[in-house]
Amino acid sequence: MAGERPRLRKGEGTRERAPQEAWGIALMRSQSGEPPNGWCLRRGGRESQLAVELAVPQTDVAMDEDVPLQEEFLACHGAETQVLKYGPWSDLSSPGSHGSPKLLVLVVVGNPGIPAFYLSFAKALYLTLEKRHPVWVISHAGHVMAPSGVKVTKESPEDPGSGTTDDVFGLEGQVEHKLAFLRRYVPGPQKLVLIGHSIGAYILLEMMKRAPQLPVRTLLYWRPS
């Protein structure tokens, strides 16, 4: 079921409200008062199931700060896919002058599968991590189509996980789609923090069953479906 892509206007995603206002997300220390191993995400007063164990110091998040936001369209597992990327890294295999980040934070979205709905959330994470780690948000397979004239990176038969399942747009296909994306666009040694929202949490669970060898540092399930 394809969705209409919300238009990204110039400057959109760079001057959102503070994350507490936009998403009800708070950064907090452990209840013991000791410095935590990392940060937790909280929504509606409840801690998430797992902490994002990134060990970043406490800091004020200035949501009006301009940060790099890249939008890419690519063919993955036989379906057009949108990826929104906070940070200067567009290709982790060739990081260039920015160096190789120690880990990648990847957000697997809930329905309707549109990354633009998660811009404030992803930016808050990127700034909280002091812009040291890329934060990417991937669409559901085929739920966001590239506008006319926008380049779509094609996949080749040699790409890991290229091709399609019987139903790439169904739940089974969405799981394989995310695995194919990781195999193609994320180098094998790259450490991962995976965040799944709603049905995205279920997709992550199935991904870990099928690919337990993934170098995942932390899984976070946000309002799992």
User: Is 205 within 8 Å of 214 (Cβ atoms)?
Assistant: no
For residue 81, give the nearest of 20, 13, 164 by alpha carbon: 164
User: Quick one: how far is CA 188 from the chain centroid?
Assistant: 17
pTM across the whole model:
0.72
Neighbours of 181 (CB within 10 A): 22
| pLDDT computed for residue 203 by the predictor | 96
| pLDDT computed for residue 80 by the predictor | 93
Would you state the structure tokens that stand for residue 11, as one six-digit string?
């400057």
| pLDDT computed for residue 189 by the predictor | 81
pLDDT tens for the 225 residues of the chain, in order: 444 444 444 333 333 333 332 333 333 222 333 323 333 443 333 333 333 334 344 455 667 788 889 999 999 988 999 999 998 888 887 766 567 788 999 999 999 999 999 999 999 999 999 899 999 999 999 999 999 999 999 887 666 555 555 678 889 999 999 999 999 999 878 899 999 999 999 999 999 999 999 999 999 998 887
The domains found in the chain, sorted by start residue, are 64-222 (3.40.50.1820)
User: Is 198 within 8 Å of 224 (Cβ atoms)?
Assistant: yes
